[in-house]
Structure 1
Amino acid sequence: MKNYSFIISLCFLLVSSTLISQNTSEDSLMLRKIFTKALTEGKSYDWLDYLSNQIGSRLSGSLEAENAVKYTEEELKQLGVDKVWLQPVMVPKWTRGFKEYAYIETLSGETTVTDICALGGSVPTPNLGIKAEVVEVKGLEDLAMLGKDKIEGKIVFFNRPMDASLISTFEAYGGAVDQRSRGAAEASKYGAVGVLVRSMNLRLDDFPHAGAMNYGDTPTNQRIPAASISTNGAEYLSNLLSLQPNLKFYYKLNCKTFDDVQSYNVIGEITGSEQPDKYIVVGGHLDSWDLGDGSHDDGAGCVQSMEVLRILKEIGYKPKHTLRVVLFMNEENGLRGGLKYAEEAKRKNEKHLLALESDAGGFTPRGFSFESNAATLAQVRSWAPLFKPYNIHLFEKGHGGADIGPLAENAEVLAGLRPDSQRYFDYHHAANDTFDAVNKRELELGAASMASLVYLFDKYGTK
Structure 2
Amino acid sequence: MRINFKVKRTIKLGIYCLFFVQTGWSQNSDQEQIKKIYDVALTQGKSYDWLNYLSNQIGGRLSGSIQAQQAVNYTKQELDSLGLDKVWLQPVMVPKWVRGIPEFAYFETSPGVTTNVPITALGGSVATPPNGVKSEVVEVKGLEDLAALGEAQIKGKIVFYNRPMDPTLINTFASYSGCVDQRYAGAMEAVKYGAIGIIVRSMNLRLDDYPHTGSMSYGDLPENKKIPAAAISTNAAELLSATLRLNPNIKFYFKQNCKQFADVESYNVIGEIKGSTHPEEIIVVGGHLDSWDLGDGSHDDGAGCVQSMEVLQIFKKIGYRPKRTIRVVLFMNEENGLRGGTEYANVAKENKENHIFGLESDSGGFTPRGFTFDGPESSFEKIIGWKDLFEPYLIHLFEMGGSGADIGPLKNESITLAGLRPDSQRYFDYHHAENDTFEQVNKRELELGAASMTSLVYLVDKYGLTP
TM-score when scaled to structure 2?
0.98
State whether structure 2 residue 200 is matched by structure 1 residue 220: no
RMSD between aligned alpha carbons?
Answer: 0.9
* Cross-structure match for 2:359: 356
> Superposed, which structure 2 residues align to 1:357-396 within 5 Å?
357-396=360-399
Candidates 63, 68, 71, aligned match of 1:68: 71
* Cross-structure match for 1:438: 441
Structure 2 CA distance for aligned equivalents of residues 231 and 16 of structure 1: 60
Query: Do the aligned residues in 1 keep the contact of 2:139 with 2:241 (CA within 8 Å)?
Result: yes
Structure 1, residues 36-92: CA drift from partner, whole Å, max 9, x if none? Answer: 000001100000000000000000000000000000000000011010000000000
> Superposed, which structure 2 residues align to 1:138-287 within 5 Å?
138-287=141-290
Structure 1 CA distance for aligned equivalents of residues 180 and 192 of structure 2: 19
Identity value in percent: 65
Query: Do the aligned residues in 2 keep the contact of 1:339 with 1:406 (CA within 8 Å)?
Result: yes
Deviation at 1:3, TM superposition (A): 4.2
State whether structure 2 residue 317 is matched by structure 1 residue 328: no
Query: Do the aligned residues in 2 keep the contact of 1:351 with 1:411 (CA within 8 Å)?
Result: no
Deviation at 1:11, TM superposition (A): 2.1
Query: Do the aligned residues in 2 keep the contact of 1:354 with 1:411 (CA within 8 Å)?
Result: no
TM-score when scaled to structure 1?
0.99
Structure 1's unaligned 5+ residue stretches are none
SS in 2 for 1:32: helix
Structure 2 CA distance for aligned equivalents of residues 211 and 7 of structure 1: 68
State whether structure 2 residue 48 is matched by structure 1 residue 36: no
> Superposed, which structure 2 residues align to 1:424-435 within 5 Å?
424-435=427-438
Which amino acid in structure 1 is aligned with residue 366 of structure 2?
F
SS in 1 for 2:412: helix
Deviates more, 1:1-10 or 1:255-264: 1-10
Structure 2 CA distance for aligned equivalents of residues 20 and 77 of structure 1: 38
Query: Do the aligned residues in 2 keep the contact of 1:107 with 1:244 (CA within 8 Å)?
Result: no
Deviation at 1:111, TM superposition (A): 0.3
* Cross-structure match for 1:294: 297
Structure 2 CA distance for aligned equivalents of residues 418 and 347 of structure 1: 31
Deviation at 1:314, TM superposition (A): 1.2
Structure 1, residues 366-406: CA drift from partner, whole Å, max 9, x if none? Answer: 00000122222121111111101100000010111000000
Deviation at 1:347, TM superposition (A): 0.2
* Cross-structure match for 2:117: 114
Deviation at 1:138, TM superposition (A): 0.3
SS in 1 for 2:310: helix
Structure 2 CA distance for aligned equivalents of residues 147 and 328 of structure 1: 42
Candidates 111, 123, 128, aligned match of 2:126: 123
Structure 2 CA distance for aligned equivalents of residues 179 and 18 of structure 1: 58
Deviation at 1:454, TM superposition (A): 0.3
Structure 1 CA distance for aligned equivalents of residues 12 and 259 of structure 2: 73
Query: Do the aligned residues in 1 keep the contact of 2:126 with 2:258 (CA within 8 Å)?
Result: yes
Structure 2 CA distance for aligned equivalents of residues 137 and 193 of structure 1: 15
Query: Do the aligned residues in 2 keep the contact of 1:196 with 1:226 (CA within 8 Å)?
Result: yes
* Cross-structure match for 1:26: 29
SS in 2 for 1:189: helix
Deviation at 1:108, TM superposition (A): 4.7
Q: How many residues align?
A: 463
Structure 1 CA distance for aligned equivalents of residues 316 and 172 of structure 2: 35
Which amino acid in structure 2 is aligned with residue 408 of structure 1?
K
Deviation at 1:428, TM superposition (A): 0.2
Query: Do the aligned residues in 2 keep the contact of 1:206 with 1:230 (CA within 8 Å)?
Result: yes
Query: Do the aligned residues in 2 keep the contact of 1:351 with 1:410 (CA within 8 Å)?
Result: no
Deviates more, 1:423-432 or 1:382-391: 382-391
Query: Do the aligned residues in 1 keep the contact of 2:375 with 2:414 (CA within 8 Å)?
Result: no
Which amino acid in structure 2 is aligned with residue 243 of structure 1?
L
Candidates 450, 453, 457, aligned match of 1:447: 450
Distance 1:8 1:412, change over 3 A: farther
Structure 1 CA distance for aligned equivalents of residues 197 and 116 of structure 2: 18
Structure 2 CA distance for aligned equivalents of residues 290 and 128 of structure 1: 24
Query: Do the aligned residues in 1 keep the contact of 2:376 with 2:414 (CA within 8 Å)?
Result: no
SS in 2 for 1:395: strand
Which amino acid in structure 1 is aligned with residue 167 of structure 2?
A
Which amino acid in structure 2 is aligned with residue 357 of structure 1?
E
Candidates 414, 418, 422, aligned match of 1:415: 418
Structure 1 CA distance for aligned equivalents of residues 264 and 204 of structure 2: 31
Query: Do the aligned residues in 1 keep the contact of 2:375 with 2:413 (CA within 8 Å)?
Result: no
Structure 2 CA distance for aligned equivalents of residues 22 and 372 of structure 1: 29
* Cross-structure match for 1:80: 83
